[in-house]
Structures are given as C-alpha cells and as structure tokens.
Amino acid sequence: MDELKARILSEGKVLPGDIIKVGSFLNHRVDADLMGRMAEEFGKHFDLSKVTLILTIEASGIALATICAYKWGKPLLYAKKAKSDNIENGLFCSEIYSYTYKKNVTVMVESEFIKPEDHVLIIDDFLANGEAIRGLTDLVKEAGASLEGIGIAVEKGFQGGGDRFRKAGIDIYSLAVIDSASDCKIKFREN
Amino acid sequence: MDELKARILSEGKVLPGDIIKVGSFLNHRVDADLMGRMAEEFGKHFDLSKVTLILTIEASGIALATICAYKWGKPLLYAKKAKSDNIENGLFCSEIYSYTYKKNVTVMVESEFIKPEDHVLIIDDFLANGEAIRGLTDLVKEAGASLEGIGIAVEKGFQGGGDRFRKAGIDIYSLAVIDSASDCKIKFREN
C-alpha cells in the first residue's frame, strides 16, 4: 500500500535492534483516517463475506482492528495478555514469547466469544517474529474455528515470521513488508 | 444513553468486589457499531470544533477512542503503561494505582505528541476510582495543553471517581452511570 509505505519512509525511525518505530501514526498516536484506508485495502484482498469475527491482540492491534470491524460491520475480539481479575470463566490460552518485553506472556480469550462455526480474520499492526500471531492462530484452533486469513499493517520481512505462515499455506496479506532496515535505511519487499 | 444501559442490563455481569463485566460488547468482544453510536452521543455533549486531540489509555480505552477519532476526523493518542523498548525519547509520565492489577503503574505518552496548543478530549471505556483518568489529566497538564472534557462509556458512580472530577469543575460526561451493583442488581443514576 503506497500511502502506508510513504508514511513509514517519512515518519518511521529505525532504532538499535532493528526496531522500527511508527508511533506517530500507527501504534501510539493513531491516524484513524489512514486506518480506514488500510481497512479498504484489506477488503480488496480478503473475501469479507465469509468472515464472521475479527481477532486481534492488545494493545497496539486494537485501533486498526476496531476500524476494520466498524467499516465491515463485524464483531471484534481482542485477546488479552496475562490474567486480570475481570476474566473469570472458560478461557482459550496460548503461551508466546514477547520480544518487546523479553518474557513469556499468556494470550487469552474467553471461550464463549469464539465458536467452532466462526470464520476468523486476524488483524494486527505489526508482524516480526510472528509470536503474537502464532498465539492468535492457536486460539482459533483451540476454539475449533476456521482461520480465513491474517491482515498485517507492517511486516518486518527480515525476521521471517510472515514467511513461515505463508509456507504453512495461510493467507497472510501485509500492507507493507520491510525486507531490510540496516544502516537506518528502510527497504520494502517488491510486490 | 438508553441503548448502552439496556446492553449493560442484558449482558453485564456483577462479580465479587463490585466488578462489572461488560466484555461481551465493550472491552473484550467489541461491538463497533454500538461504539459508533456512543461517539455520536459524545458529539452531542462536547463542542468537537474545539477539540484537536483524543486521548485514551491502553488497552481497553483504545477501541472506543479510535471510533471517536475516526468519526470526528481527529488524531488519537493512547497512553502506554510501563516502559517498553520502543519508547525512547521525551516522555510525559504519571504514576497511578491500578485496582485491576493491584499495583502502581506508570502511564506515559511521548511528549512530541501533545503540544501546549492542543485541546484534549479524554475518552475511556470505564471510570471507577478515577486513577487512570487522573493519570491522563496529569499528562495533559504536564504538556501545558487544555483539557476540554472527559467522555466515559460506563462510570461506576458508587466508587466516586467521576464525582471528584465534577467537583473540580471538569466537564465529564458518562453515557451510563451505575450507582449501585449490590446483590448483583445494577441500578443507574437518574439523568
């Protein structure tokens, strides 16, 4: 998606450790209009008529996934990390490693909110090693639901997570795939 | 807001410790259409022409605040809790006590994203003791920006946070104020 790539180039910052920061429009300050256009772009790729549920993970996936749910008229479910007092009954859970926080994290959804008959589209802002998305696909499996695909705003292609899902035959569509960020220079994968 | 109150009565659960669970449409599974109508309701109360920035806090405030930002054509900023590696430069911070997690939490925004000339409307899904909202108002003050008001979906009136802000002269508008939840029976404050 050219508009997203242009924003990454003009506003993105590359930090040590190949961290790519796009907090000015994607995951701290949020450009909701841009997210509306990102939702339209996902809508060109995925067959939304099949989708019954949008699934994402707190916190940074929520903004984009909410706009998608709103524009498409679908319910959204966001997985939570770790256990809070407000979640009491049946849970689907998966353990993932968070590279951001450098520790294992449990991601979970209340089991009543994903049914075996659901057709799930996963939406997230970022994909790097793919741990968070792997956790979400685990939850879909645990529920016995169908995974229709995975829509990602920014994929760090050089960290391999996205390509692992592609090799496994999953329909994953990333609006911008960054294949290298060395010397603070961002290079995108060709379409 | 009658529609919201009806949903709270039909789907809300009262848990021990006066916890009111509305995860089926507000802060786990998300009814984005309902949130669109909640944004319209806020728009009747607040003078949006003055507002330059919507501010909320991760994670559960993000969905509603994103819909507000999208419908109103405003930028959104969500405060983060605790420090991750992806936040490196100037920060505005405030320490709050999280009753959900029973510990102190630092809420923060990158200082470049709130300017002294900003007119900020705070949006959040829940208000109980008001600690999270107090943290957000601290960030607005620290930035030297103006607070236009506070829009809340569900206020637990019996915990007093909202009334403290009202007494301080802050324009706070809650779409549903629950004044008691004893014996698992939810009672709303009269308008």
- Contact residues, chain A, for B100 at CB < 8 Å: 84-86
Q: Which of A70, A75, A113 sits opposite B36 (nearest CB)?
A: A70
8 Å CB contact of B30 and A78: yes
Is the CB of residue A69 less than 8 Å from the CB of residue B32?
yes
Give the CATH number for residue A83.
3.40.50.2020
The 10s digit of each residue's pLDDT in B115-128 is 999 999 999 999 99
Q: In chain A, which residue's Cα lies nearest the Cα of B113? A: A29
ipTM of the modeled complex: 0.95
- Contact residues, chain A, for B63 at CB < 8 Å: 62-63, 66, 76, 78
**pLDDT given for residue B58 in this prediction:** 96
Please state, in angstroms and rounded to a whole number, the distance separating the CA atoms of residues A80 and A87. Answer: 9
**pLDDT given for residue B18 in this prediction:** 84
**pLDDT given for residue A83 in this prediction:** 58
Q: What's the farthest any 2 CA atoms get from each other in chain A?
A: 49
- For chain B, the straight-line distance linking the first and the last C-alpha, in angstroms and rounded, comes to 10
DSSP characters for B52-113? -EEEEETTTTHHHHHHHHHHHT--EEEEEES--TT--S-EEEEEEEETTTTEEEEEEEEGGG
Mean pLDDT of the residues in chain B? 94
**pLDDT given for residue B103 in this prediction:** 87
Q: What confidence tier does B83 reach under pLDDT thresholds 50, 70, 90?
A: low
**pLDDT given for residue A16 in this prediction:** 85
Please state, in angstroms and rounded to a whole number, the distance separating the CA atoms of residues B120 and B100. Answer: 26
**pLDDT given for residue B8 in this prediction:** 97
Q: Which of A22, A8, A50, A43 is nearest to A188 (CA)?
A: A8
> CA torsion A8→A9→A15→A17, rounded to 10°?
80
User: How many CB atoms sit inside 10 A of residue B94's CB?
Assistant: 21
Domain containing B140: what range? 2-188
Q: How close B147 gets to chain A, by Cα (Å)?
A: 18
Residue B158 has which token pair? Answer: 């019996």
Residue B99 has pLDDT above 70, yes or no: yes
Q: Which of B82, B81, B84 is nearest to B61 (CA)?
A: B81
- From first to last of its 191 residues, chain A has per-residue pLDDT tens of 999 999 999 999 998 888 899 999 999 999 999 999 999 999 999 999 999 999 999 999 999 999 999 999 999 999 999 755 555 568 999 999 988 778 899 999 999 999 999 999 999 999 999 999 999 999 999 999 999 999 999 999 999 999 999 999 999 999 999 999 988 899 999 87
Structural domain tally of chain A? 1
The 10s digit of each residue's pLDDT in B9-63 is 999 999 888 889 999 999 999 999 999 999 999 999 999 999 999 999 999 999 9
**pLDDT given for residue B174 in this prediction:** 98
Chain A positions contacting chain B at CB under 8 Å are 15, 17, 19, 21, 23-24, 28-33, 35-36, 58-60, 62-63, 66-67, 69-70, 73-78, 80, 84-88, 100-101, 109-110, 113
- The whole-angstrom distance between residue A156's C-alpha and the CA centroid of its chain comes to 12
